[in-house]
Amino acid sequence: MASHMEYIDKGNKTSLLIAKIVSYIFLVFVTVLSLFSFYLLIINATRSNAQLQAGFTLLPKEHFIDNLVTAWNDQSIFFLPQGMLNSFIVSACTCIISTYFSAMTAYGVCVYDFKGRNVAHKFIILVMMIPTQVSALGFVKLVNALGLTNTYWPLIIPAIAAPATYFYMKQYIDSTLPLEIVEAARVDGSNEFRTFNFICTPILKPALAVQMIFSFVGTWNNFFTPALILDKKEVWTLPIMLSVVRSRINSQAGDMGEVYMIILLAIVPVVVVYLFLSKFIIGGVTLGSVKG
């Protein structure tokens, strides 16, 4: 009987070991597959235009500095670092105000029991279904009428109304924020803004970090809206500059090495922002598990 149990126990351990090995192999495969495109991007950023046209390779070449200098000093897009700075200003401001005001809106809908609350929630969700392209013509006319062409205000201020971010924050608040904390803060004499900013916001930190990442990346990669209202080279964002450089490829006057270099430089700030905010996500999840 004892030997039979030992045999079963050994079989279970073997099955678990095999399952673990298969899991690790699968995870390694998915990781390599995910990072392979970034590896190719780095490799292509080290190749000249002629080498890129010659075909595919997995080995780096010696033209990284040449491509960097070409992209950095390309006068047709004014000045690449200026474009990166422009994109960062717009993206940083957008992700902050979009996340903050969306969280505040979701907090108000969840915490306050007012007449028309369900109607307001459904209206916001309905707005989320409307594509940006539908309102583009009216948006451009309004920007021109207000004299805001070639400024960043039309790119930043509308981010206050972000239905998708609101929806995510509402779902998170419904499942995470205990209303008893809000009631206790009110009893202690805390006003509503203080309650939200200093009591509720730390609890919502993981969700805020996630939405800031999504908002930053979405704005950083946004080409459509900036292209409608930014005409001057000195206020162009990075996607517009990349589009101008990429358009020259079709006329045989472009440099694919420069294109890959600009794409590589465009990814770096996004990675930095993700690495900076990811610790808040992990910290928030760990804190929640400890409290649980």
- Give the CATH number, domain containing residue 241: 1.10.3720.10
66 residue type, one letter: D
Are 38 and 102 found together in one domain? no
Q: Which of 85-94, 210-219, 245-254 has the lowest mean pLDDT?
A: 245-254
pTM, rounded to two decimals: 0.84
Q: Is 134 exposed, middle or buried (0-12, 13-18, 19+ CB in 10 A)?
A: exposed
| pLDDT for 286 | 45
Are 128 and 203 found together in one domain? yes
Are 96 and 225 found together in one domain? yes
Whether the Cβ atoms of residue 283 and residue 210 lie closer than 8 Å to each other: no
Report which of 235, 239, 236 is spatially closest to residue 222, judged by C-alpha positions: 239
129 residue type, one letter: M
In angstroms, rounded to a whole number, what is the distance separating the alpha carbons of residues 105 and 204? 13
Q: State mean pLDDT over 153-168.
A: 91
Q: Which region holds residue 56: left if phi is over 0, alpha if psi is between -120 and 50, else beta?
A: beta
Are 60 and 108 found together in one domain? no
- Count of structural domains within the chain: 2
Are 200 and 221 found together in one domain? yes
Q: How many CA atoms lie within 13 A of 191 on its CB side?
A: 2
**Domain final residue, candidates 35, 65, 95:** 65
Are 200 and 262 found together in one domain? yes
Are 215 and 71 found together in one domain? yes
Are 39 and 179 found together in one domain? no
Residues 176-209: tens digit of each pLDDT: 888 888 889 888 888 888 999 998 998 888 889 8
| pLDDT for 247 | 84
| pLDDT for 210 | 87
Are 134 and 216 found together in one domain? yes
**Domain final residue, candidates 65, 98, 119:** 65
Residues 1-28: tens digit of each pLDDT: 545 555 556 656 777 888 889 899 999 9
**Domain final residue, candidates 65, 81, 116:** 65
Are 171 and 193 found together in one domain? yes
| pLDDT for 278 | 77
The boundaries of the domain holding residue 23 are 2-65
Judged against a pLDDT cut of 50, whether residue 64 lies above it is answered with yes
Provide the residue count of the chain: 292
